[in-house]
């Protein structure tokens, strides 16, 4: 093989490699960025009778059923300071006279733990307005209980929405 033929063959191979690299590079450059998948704030978890449920495992969504502005967000912040995980915050679709905890299962340990943070809260059935335990603050709500309850023991087997990342 002559020197000119070797040079021509080498240039042809290099040109093909550069062309392939350019095609691959353009495809990589024009590809959309990967989308972050949203992580759920909580996941349904089974708890057996006798198991402890702590505040850092419970997500609480707070909604304002009173006419006072900012009540839900300030109460959610107080619950977060106590160790609960903040869920959704907003206005209730309907006004409430007293504090309500919306739950399908009133014996649920997460519901019991949240209820112990409020004076005179009653458990009512209702659609979930947000993740975790849903609290609707009424006109009569003034403040959380001074005594902070850190955990409860499940009286029976139950399922609750456990905060993602809690142990």
- Domain assignments of the chain as residue spans, ordered by start: 1-31, 42-163
Name residue 64's beta-bridge partners.
91, 137
Model pTM score: 0.75
Distances (CA, A) of 1 to 4, 7, 10, 115: 8, 10, 12, 90
Measured between alpha carbons, how far is 101 from 123 in angstroms, rounded to an integer?
Answer: 5
Cα–Cα dist 106/100, whole Å:
12
- pLDDT tens-place string over residues 59-78: 999 999 998 899 999 999 99
Query: Once rounded to an integer, what is the mean pLDDT over residues 79-102?
Result: 93
Looking at 71-75, 123-127, 147-151, which range is the least confident one?
123-127
Could you tell me which of 99, 60, 64 has the C-alpha nearest to residue 80?
60
State pLDDT tens for residues 93-107. Answer: 888 999 999 988 888
Q: What is the mean pLDDT of the chain?
A: 90
Q: How many CA atoms lie within 13 A of 18 on its CB side?
A: 6
* Residue 104 pLDDT: 84
Comparing CA positions, the residue from 93, 56, 57 lying closest to residue 72 is: 93
Query: Residues 3-45: pLDDT tens digits?
Result: 888 888 888 888 999 999 999 989 888 888 888 888 888 899 9
Tokens representing 82 are 């106590």
């Amino acid at each position: 093989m002559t020197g000119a033929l070797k040079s021509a063959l080498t240039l042809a191979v290099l040109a093909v490699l550069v062309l392939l690299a350019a095609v691959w590079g353009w495809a990589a450059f024009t590809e959309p960025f990967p989308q972050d998948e949203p992580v759920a704030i909580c996941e349904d978890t089974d708890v057996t009778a006798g198991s402890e449920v702590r505040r850092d495992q419970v997500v609480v969504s707070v909604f304002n059923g009173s006419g006072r502005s900012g009540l839900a967000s300030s109460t959610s912040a107080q619950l977060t300071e106590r160790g609960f995980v903040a869920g959704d915050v907003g206005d209730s679709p309907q006004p409430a006279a007293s504090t309500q905890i919306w739950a399908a299962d009133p014996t649920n340990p997460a519901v019991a733990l949240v209820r112990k943070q409020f004076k005179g809260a009653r458990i009512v059935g209702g659609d979930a307005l947000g993740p975790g335990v849903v609290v609707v603050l009424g006109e009569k709500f003034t403040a959380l209980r001074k005594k902070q309850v850190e955990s409860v023991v499940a009286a029976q087997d139950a399922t609750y929405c456990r905060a993602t990342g809690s142990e």
